[in-house]
Structures are given as structure tokens and as C-alpha cells.
Homo-oligomer: A and B are copies of this chain.
Amino acid sequence: MSVLKRIYQHPLLSPEDVNTIINAHEKVHFKKGDYLLKKDQIAKKYFCVEKGLIRSYVYDYEGNDITTGFVGENELAIDVISLFHEIPAVEYFQALTDCECYSIPLNDFQILYHSIKGFNEWGRAWMSGSLFELKQRTISMITESASERYKTLRSKHPQILQQSPLKYIASYLGITDTSLSRIRKELVRES
């Protein structure tokens, strides 16, 4: 099944709605290092990732960039809050590898979003899913140790470990690349 069919599966979207929406999409390519969205911009679109890896990040109070999330294949690169509340983004979204994505042009998106009732609902569902995931992550940052979080990431999203430099994974886990390197050494020793 295509990326888009997968992403637009929703009880309130009929196959015809889905087709209408899918047909409004156009292919977009990003080169490694390209920005999909920058801090202070208002998100006007989102991207369905078919191939590649994207990371979101912010700068901490010491100027280090801290990874806040990864978006892999068959996932959506979307700043839910910026897009649906029309407020400036607080994060940067940058391609870690060359990427192939699909996106709806702003105009079509706005028309469809307001005319197809289920599309609206689909947006709300994304909002609620985002809340769920963010909460989970917040809790896991507290209740799990860095090495546990690493092991979880390794088992649930192995492709990230393959495609992302260590330093970005480290900051995602809340530690430095040095510490992560030592955690990995420790894990090898254990097995």
C-alpha cells in the first residue's frame, strides 16, 4: 500500500474522499540538509515521507542543538500545533538524508480541509495522536534511564540508528554523544 493510502486511512474518510485528497498531492524532494520548516515560520503544509529520514530540533540555553523527534518512512512530518493553530513553529524540521515526500499545495489543502468533513476529523485525530505520543515521550524521559530509552529506540525504530548520526540520537535521548558511545560499549560488553 502506498504511503498516502496508509496515512489517510480514517473511519470518516470514504475511499472517494481519500482519492480526492491523494490526487491533490504532489511529489516533493528534499536534499540532505534542506529545511522543511524553520522556527518562527507558520507551517502551511505537512509532508508524507515516502523515503528518507527527517529530524526536528531546537537550540537549548547553551546553544546546543537538541533533537526533539525523528520522522521516518510512512510517517508524517508535521508540526501539528503550528499548522492547525496557525502560530509560529518552535522547532526546526530538517532532512537528515535525501527525502522523497508528498504534500498538498496550501490552497488545495485549505479547500479540502474545510470541505471534506472527514478531513477535518482526520486533522483532529492527528492532534490527539500527537498529544498521546508527546505524553508518552515525556513520561519515558522521566521513568526510564538513558540506556533503557536507547534500547527501546533500537528495538522499535532500528532504521533511525542506521540513518542518523550518533550525536542526533544522543541529544534525542537527553545525553551527549560521548555518553551514548559509552552506553553502547557497555551494552556490547553485556552480551
- Interface of chain A residues 127 through 157 with chain B (CB within 8 A): 127-128, 130-132, 134-135, 138-139, 142-145, 148
Per the bound structure, the CA–CA distance linking A148 and B145 in Å amounts to 25
- Interface of chain A residues 50 through 100 with chain B (CB within 8 A): 58-61, 66, 68, 80-81, 84-85, 90-91
Contact assessment for A135 and B135 in the assembled complex, using a CB-CB cutoff below 8 Å? no
Contact assessment for A61 and B144 in the assembled complex, using a CB-CB cutoff below 8 Å? yes
Per the bound structure, the CA–CA distance linking A134 and B135 in Å amounts to 8
* Contact A128/B90 with A61-B148, A139-B58 known, Cβ cut-off 8 Å: no
Q: Answer yes or no: A124 CB below 8 A from chain B CBs.
A: yes
A128 CB to nearest chain B CB (Å): 6
Considering only CB atoms and an 8 Å cut-off, how many residues of chain A contact the other chain?
Answer: 27
Contact assessment for B143 and A61 in the assembled complex, using a CB-CB cutoff below 8 Å? yes
Contact assessment for B85 and A143 in the assembled complex, using a CB-CB cutoff below 8 Å? no
With both beta carbons as reference points, the residue of chain B lying nearest to A130 in the complex is identified as B131
* Contact A138/B144 with A84-B128, A127-B127, A128-B127 known, Cβ cut-off 8 Å: no
10 pairs of residues in contact across A and B, judged by CB atoms under 8 Å: A60-B142, A68-B142, A81-B132, A84-B128, A85-B132, A91-B139, A127-B131, A130-B131, A131-B131, A134-B135
Q: A residues near B, CB below 8 A?
A: 58-61, 66, 68, 80-81, 84-85, 90-91, 124, 127-128, 130-132, 134-135, 138-139, 142-145, 148
